[in-house]
Structure 1
């Protein structure tokens, strides 16, 4: 059959879109199809598929916007068809076979389901240094992207700015909480909802009761203050009752009490600000791209369906993979061998430290560090199905080079990982913390010994268990309610001020991996599945496997005779 020219394609577009289906196709959309199909041998069939997919995507929208077909809509439809075709021709362990998918595109009928999605294509790792800086503007009641170019060298105002940003973020979240929303305008009863008073408004209201929101701080040695954007007040905690939490310097809290004529706020109760579920946040700010990822060419409802259908998908989470310890590498090899014989995990999330002792910055130590990663590369390469199909995501720890002691930590330098990236197809070296987007789920990974740091720097003792093993709940509540991975003073845990937004937990993630030396745990809090895999060498070779289809995890361990 001769190759049709553009004139014939143009006429076919008119006959099928307009005459047959009553759709008005805009000129730029028509030209796009003419260029796309000018060498196609079966133009009519291809146009039929495009029209049917367009109708399917716009079902129920047939007002003006449904009848007028623009170029962007046509491109979206073509991208979906091409993605389905590519998925059909690929062979990975992560695609859900579709029995009605035909052998090639020309045989597809798009009034049927055509998607054969390889969900591994919808896993993206987001480096902390590439996330856009979205700041909440209190006056505009929305987020705006910072236009300033981020720098590791902060200005003199940067420290104050990050605490102001954190406060504004938490305040807008609290004021949207049902307990803080005023009732209808017709009946306003001050006792029917909680009202936050700015600290500057306390002046002249001695011996009255108030609820305050602010940052806990020590402006003077031995005294505790609460500070908001405009003022601060000294706190008397002698009769205070506190809820569960680890209340450190620079954390944000709600306090209720009486403002005395001594100009001190006498606290009766204090607690962490209430959290906000991811679902509620996205219902308000779902249009905001907090991760900076390119738009998807597939509907979220389709991804959610695939996410639930792919029950074989798993993430293996291991912390403290000490590559300089032969017995640890042997144990990890057993893990790889076990998975290679069963169901291949979509990803291995491996967090540092990757050496058992802090790395000394010398030529000899650097060579040993590189050789350790080379040995790991050879070990993974023994299992071709894992090396070819699974993602291996590396998150550095405090002992890994050359990042200093400031958060976020950059990835392990390429110099050390060249062989591993060559042998492992999907090796990704990312920052600490890092984010993983899988289909509709957001996973945050953070390697830090948080529990001990927070306990050592607690200003106020919360209503917490005395047993260290029961501190999981206070730790999780503190981190999630603060909407920040490291709510500690900058003097205790330095942070690059320009990248403080990369440590936020807003919106709340679906999964929070806090890789800590404390005992392994997994728990749910306000819709967030929180995991600590524990230290692989120090917890009897324990790790955790997460199953996104059911949003749950399971603890595993290696049985190894030393």
Structure 2
């Protein structure tokens, strides 16, 4: 039992009652009476000592959930809840509920935890929580926090020196650069080195938006794994290797399934209501109403639970695979079952591809084996977890996509109810540039200040542009001519308004020259191609001084083509070796030397990155994924044929494609130097709509072939949330690098999918803007070059940090 210490007045008070008429003191200095006067007597506290109680954690759980999870997006472990219940019961007593004492304590603990960057998981065994409770215990009196302001100052983080003193106890969660001395789990949950001071930067170099551009290689990106028990992402502690043990392959597929499964369970279509009454089994088939009611919730059944349930209706989520017998199967973490899709229909119809290696939703009926059906017994589990019988699928669909702002748990700019169920992952640093909730608001303010420093003018182009060039085959002289023409267009723009970056993607040669014969094996010719590229770039020193050139390789580039012969190489793959690009780097060094040291721009640079790679602009505000792959052609070769309303949809598509190619060959070349693509490119729609890509079969059937193909490709990739949804034999993946670099979760703000086998397009789907420039040289049209110009989204219009930019396909004559 805790007792209050005697006050100072009670120590010096007389032990006998004071007289009715006290005699004043003879002290002339103070003129105080000899004994305490009744009007000035210190009254004892109205309440006695706080009596500790035994507070069960289950009783405190609802209040702790509202404070930590709903308000601060933190997750309490059972041990942390036990620690808080013990602390509140000891220091708040029976008034923890009626007087609101527990709520104030929980609020202060949550704020102090976020100030210490402890992550989103509050663990009772952590040293941070014990230090917070110890500090809080010394500042409590009578069950209340007496010095809350001083407590906040003690637990607040130290910000940059430019911040004012009254901002010291603001809970921004930023961490200065010098404090990032160790790479642990807190760096992925907290903040990175993107701490920005509140005041304006005096350095003119930081006023250039290009200085906030960071190219992140696939081998530099943090490797995150989803923890099912904690429902949270954690950094993979193992060291990556190109030849890991076989267990890492299982971990890669298991992590991919867990990410899609938790994303699916957070969807409102899979949230069951306690008051809803379902009528009939749920189905993937779209109802007439666009809004799902409480009676249309779905439920996923594990494959192992199908045993003994012959003839029942179920919905499965699993990986499409091929059995050794050649039959199609679906498997999840519990087992595998043979799959029959002879009567299955895609939902929505003809909106996506389905290939072995994808994780899909299948709705159908389980059928046992014939010999076991007559006996009334269920099919048994065979070798490798294969369940006897088969699953007759009637409907098949892609797992619904999730918007970026929903994944990060950030509300929309209008304050709408766009929060995801369960909080979101706003405190996770997926790229190593800072989390959304830590540095996102500050980065958007900085972006708005830098990109809108001058009054808007239609004649002056924006600095926040990225020029994306498709397949640049350097062994074709016409490709260098097209590149020279494109660079000439941007070199004539006003100073300070040129694009901030140029993205040049491979294949840089038509064939895998590194696999050629001869004494050099093609390496000498390969280097000569880049020397020719350097001579073209050297003619535009202003662009080399003011822009960042990013080079993304293809499958025909070195060194991977030396053993692949032009076939699909394992992903991710490293950039072109430095020995071939030395002349290009020398061209940038010469241009920057001419710029002089008195310029604050710092000069441009050439970055040879991996495939795929990511561009981070203003921290987590803009994430652009660049990927070079012939994905459309690979999907067509490996897709599973399903029933369709048309008799031969593929044949119709091929006929329409041949008609389009013939039409392109007959058309004369354009006469303008700069032409906007309007025939094969749908107009981009605002990113704040729920779904900007119409996938209704009735409306999409009347669209041109190119637009339908582009939408089908975009929906397949983004719904899968994975850049390589194929079997390992079709498109191999490095097991230790197949998690984060290839995942599209959370969705990026833009995806640059360089696919020459698909038509060029610019489409926005679920807030992600997907662009495909196609090859640089337009097939069938001599003397025409094509590229995509991507403009960053408006910072003011993207209050949630998920602003989507706009891209447009451009053409020129050379």
Match of residue 202, structure 2, among 65, 82, 85: 85
Distance 2:791 2:155 in 1: 45
Partner of 1:559: 813
Q: Would the alpha carbon gap of residues 489 and 56 (structure 1) be closer, same or farther in structure 2, given more than 3 Å must change?
A: same
Q: Would the alpha carbon gap of residues 385 and 28 (structure 1) be closer, same or farther in structure 2, given more than 3 Å must change?
A: farther
Match of residue 328, structure 1, among 460, 466, 479: 479
Partner of 2:427: 287
CA-CA distance at 1:140 after TM superposition: 1.4
Contact between 1:119 and 1:306, CA under 8 Å: does it hold in 2? no
Q: Does 1:423 align with 2:587?
A: yes
Q: Would the alpha carbon gap of residues 208 and 31 (structure 1) be closer, same or farther in structure 2, given more than 3 Å must change?
A: closer
Contact between 2:572 and 2:611, CA under 8 Å: does it hold in 1? yes
Q: Does 1:496 align with 2:734?
A: yes
Q: Does 1:451 align with 2:632?
A: yes
CA-CA distance at 1:382 after TM superposition: 1.7
Q: Would the alpha carbon gap of residues 258 and 313 (structure 1) be closer, same or farther in structure 2, given more than 3 Å must change?
A: same
Match of residue 320, structure 2, among 216, 219, 226: 216
Partner of 1:16: none
CA-CA distance at 1:29 after TM superposition: 11
Distance 2:156 2:277 in 1: 57
Distance 2:399 2:216 in 1: 28
Contact between 1:246 and 1:460, CA under 8 Å: does it hold in 2? no
Distance 1:471 1:417 in 2: 36
Distance 1:507 1:121 in 2: 24
Q: How does 1:107-506 map to 2 (within 5 A)?
A: 117-183=207-273, 185=274, 187-190=275-278, 192=295, 193-243=297-347, 244-262=351-369, 263-283=389-409, 284-293=424-433, 299-306=442-449, 309=452, 311-342=462-493, 343-361=497-515, 363=520, 365-403=522-560, 404=564, 405-424=569-588, 425-439=604-618, 440-461=621-642, 466-467=652-653, 469=706, 470-501=708-739, 502-506=741-745
Q: TM-score, normalised by structure 1?
A: 0.79
Q: Would the alpha carbon gap of residues 155 and 239 (structure 1) be closer, same or farther in structure 2, given more than 3 Å must change?
A: same
Match of residue 545, structure 1, among 789, 794, 806: 789
Contact between 1:523 and 1:530, CA under 8 Å: does it hold in 2? yes
CA root-mean-square deviation = 3.1
SS in 2 for 1:360: helix
Contact between 2:302 and 2:332, CA under 8 Å: does it hold in 1? yes
SS in 2 for 1:80: coil
Distance 2:360 2:630 in 1: 23
Contact between 1:246 and 1:462, CA under 8 Å: does it hold in 2? no
SS in 2 for 1:135: strand
Distance 2:194 2:768 in 1: 34
CA-CA distance at 1:203 after TM superposition: 1.2
Q: How does 1:59-98 map to 2 (within 5 A)?
A: 80=197, 84-87=201-204, 90=205
Distance 2:530 2:777 in 1: 17
CA-CA distance at 1:50 after TM superposition: 4.1
Alpha-carbon displacement from aligned partner over 1:412-467 (angstroms, at most 9, x marks no partner): 00111122123223100000001101121110111111111111011243757742
Runs (5+) with no aligned partner, structure 2: 1-148, 180-192, 280-294, 370-388, 410-423, 454-461, 589-603, 658-705, 795-804
SS in 1 for 2:463: coil
Distance 1:169 1:31 in 2: 35
Runs (5+) with no aligned partner, structure 1: 1-21, 37-48, 66-70, 91-115
Contact between 2:571 and 2:732, CA under 8 Å: does it hold in 1? yes
CA-CA distance at 1:364 after TM superposition: 6.5
SS in 2 for 1:276: coil
Distance 1:271 1:176 in 2: 17
SS in 2 for 1:363: coil
Q: Would the alpha carbon gap of residues 77 and 410 (structure 1) be closer, same or farther in structure 2, given more than 3 Å must change?
A: closer
CA-CA distance at 1:226 after TM superposition: 1.2
CA-CA distance at 1:30 after TM superposition: 13
CA-CA distance at 1:26 after TM superposition: 7.5
Alpha-carbon displacement from aligned partner over 1:113-166 (angstroms, at most 9, x marks no partner): xxx732111111110111111111112111111111111113222332222111
Distance 2:467 2:219 in 1: 24
SS in 2 for 1:503: coil
Q: Would the alpha carbon gap of residues 522 and 147 (structure 1) be closer, same or farther in structure 2, given more than 3 Å must change?
A: same
Higher Rg of the two aligned structures: 2
CA-CA distance at 1:177 after TM superposition: 0.5
Q: Would the alpha carbon gap of residues 56 and 557 (structure 1) be closer, same or farther in structure 2, given more than 3 Å must change?
A: farther
SS in 2 for 1:378: helix
Contact between 2:194 and 2:434, CA under 8 Å: does it hold in 1? no
SS in 1 for 2:731: coil
CA-CA distance at 1:385 after TM superposition: 1.5
CA-CA distance at 1:242 after TM superposition: 1.4
